Amino acid sequence: MVSLKLKNSFTGKIESARAVCFLLDAQGKMVGQSTKWVIGQNHTGLEPGATNSFNFVITSPQPFTTTNLTAKVSFSRLILAGEKLVDVKQSVIVTGP
């Protein structure tokens, strides 16, 4: 399980946000992934300045061979109130713990 904390630094409410979480081994090889709506699709929106936490559960058809794993999260879609689409490459910052 990978925990994600999302803070809305925009001036408008986030209505929808879709993220993908990649699980990488020590060599940088992807060993699992999960994509889901963290806001929208049965999750309420996120008001400006608010923070919310989400969990990604990543499964694999084979057991993980190491415990030295790194999670990489990126957002593929983010929509503000009024259906304003955000350029995630320019406007979303993902930071580590």
Summarize pLDDT for 11-37 with one digit per residue, the tens.
889 999 999 999 898 888 888 888 988
The sign one gets for the Cα dihedral 91, 5, 43, 61 is positive
Per-residue confidence at 43, pLDDT binned at 50, 70, 90? low
Residue 92 in this model has a pLDDT that exceeds 70:
yes
Summarize pLDDT for 45-60 with one digit per residue, the tens.
899 999 888 888 887 7
Q: Tell me the domains of the chain and their CATH numbers.
A: 2-86 (2.60.40)
How is 13-79 classified by DSSP, letter by letter? -EEEEEEEEEEE-TTS-EEEEEEEEEEBTTB--B-TT-EEEEEE----SS--S-S--EEEEEEEEEE
